[in-house]
């Protein structure tokens, strides 16, 4: 069994995550709910979880500094002709940096997923007016780019997203299919299963990174795949 000590304890998460794996590319409600403070959204349409204070203020500040230093315009696989579908900035985090290495291990511990199934960690920054319009994280099997993005590593299985700061106004994450929204709170984690029980994409995971109205929003995202990331 994994340790029940606080998430910020280095000796805990650095050594415990390897024994907590639930299976290649897979997390589970049972595993996630074994962590104190983890909450599941009451819905039979989606596996969606939240946890406050997953990261410390010091960890959040360090990651925000990296994003500010290395950010670039965000991209999207298919914007359906809408140039303003995703208007944030993205940072490809330095995986040799000790803070990022530590976060990778911490995510492996909380998710129970082998890190080899994870896409590289990304940070995002949203300025006033910037948003990511309603979208799902999985790739549509009949989409033009499905083979390009999924042929090697398979479909996205789980999403783990961390808010790095409080936002003065706006910037929430809304799941319109289940009428649920989350307001950014520094260090808080959101996690959801992108698929239904039969393995197909779950349309109830549609979510909207809503426009920031005041201040800026910083998040970290880790997408996991069915197979080893290639």
Q: Going by DSSP bridges, is the β-strand pair 72-73/122-126 parallel, antiparallel, or unpaired? A: unpaired
Inside any domain, residue 117 = yes
Report the distance separating Cα 3 and Cα 7, nearest Å.
9
Structure confidence at residue 225 (pLDDT): 95
Q: At a CB cut-off of 8 Å and minimum separation 6, what does 40 contact?
A: 29, 32, 33, 47, 48, 49
Please state the pTM of the whole predicted model. 0.88
Task: Please report, for the domain that includes residue 177, its CATH number.
Answer: 2.60.120.620
For residue 177, what pLDDT is reported?
98
Concatenated DSSP letters of 103-136: HHHHHHHHH---GGGBPPPEEEEE-BT--EEEE-
| 32-67 pLDDT per residue, tens | 999 999 999 999 999 999 999 999 999 999 999 999
Q: Which domain holds residue 38?
A: 24-225
Query: Domain for residue 87, yes or no?
Result: yes
Of the candidates 152, 65, 62, the one whose C-alpha atom is nearest the C-alpha of residue 103 is 62
Structural domains in the chain (count): 1
| 204 lies in some domain | yes
Which helix (H) or strand (E) segment holds residue 222: the answer is: strand 217-225
2 lies in a domain?
Answer: no
In a domain, 15, yes or no: no
The H or E element spanning position 30 is helix 29-32
The answer to whether position 174 is within a domain reads: yes
pLDDT along the chain (230 residues), means of 10: 39 45 80 97 98 98 96 74 80 93 96 95 96 93 81 94 97 98 98 95 97 97 94
Best CA proximity match to 191, nearest among 157, 229, 227, 228: 157
Q: What's the pLDDT at 74?
A: 86
Residue 11 included in any domain: no
Query: What does the radius of gyration of the chain's CA atoms come to, in whole angstroms?
Result: 17
Would residue 8 count as lying in a domain?
Answer: no
């Amino acid at each position: 069994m994994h340790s029940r000590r606080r998430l910020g304890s280095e000796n805990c998460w650095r050594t415990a995550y390897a024994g907590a794996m639930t299976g290649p590319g897979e997390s589970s409600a049972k595993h996630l709910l074994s962590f104190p403070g983890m909450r599941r959204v009451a819905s039979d349409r989606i596996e969606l979880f939240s946890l406050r204070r997953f990261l410390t203020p010091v960890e959040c500040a360090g990651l925000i500094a990296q994003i500010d230093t290395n950010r670039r315009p965000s991209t999207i696989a298919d914007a359906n002709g809408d140039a303003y579908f995703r208007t944030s900035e993205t940072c490809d985090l330095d995986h040799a940096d000790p803070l990022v290495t530590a976060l990778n291990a911490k995510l492996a511990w909380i998710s129970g997923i082998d890190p080899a199934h994870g896409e590289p960690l990304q940070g995002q920054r949203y300025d006033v007016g910037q948003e990511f319009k309603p979208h799902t994280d999985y790739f549509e099997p009949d989409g033009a780019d499905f083979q390009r993005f999924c042929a090697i590593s398979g479909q996205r299985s789980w999403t783990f997203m961390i808010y790095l700061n409080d936002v003065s106004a706006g910037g929430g994450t809304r799941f319109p299919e289940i009428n649920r929204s989350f307001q950014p709170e520094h260090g808080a984690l959101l996690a959801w299963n992108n698929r239904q029980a039969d393995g197909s994409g779950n349309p109830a995971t549609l979510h909207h990174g809503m426009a920031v109205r005041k201040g800026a929003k910083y998040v970290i995202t880790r997408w996991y795949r069915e197979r080893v990331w290639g």
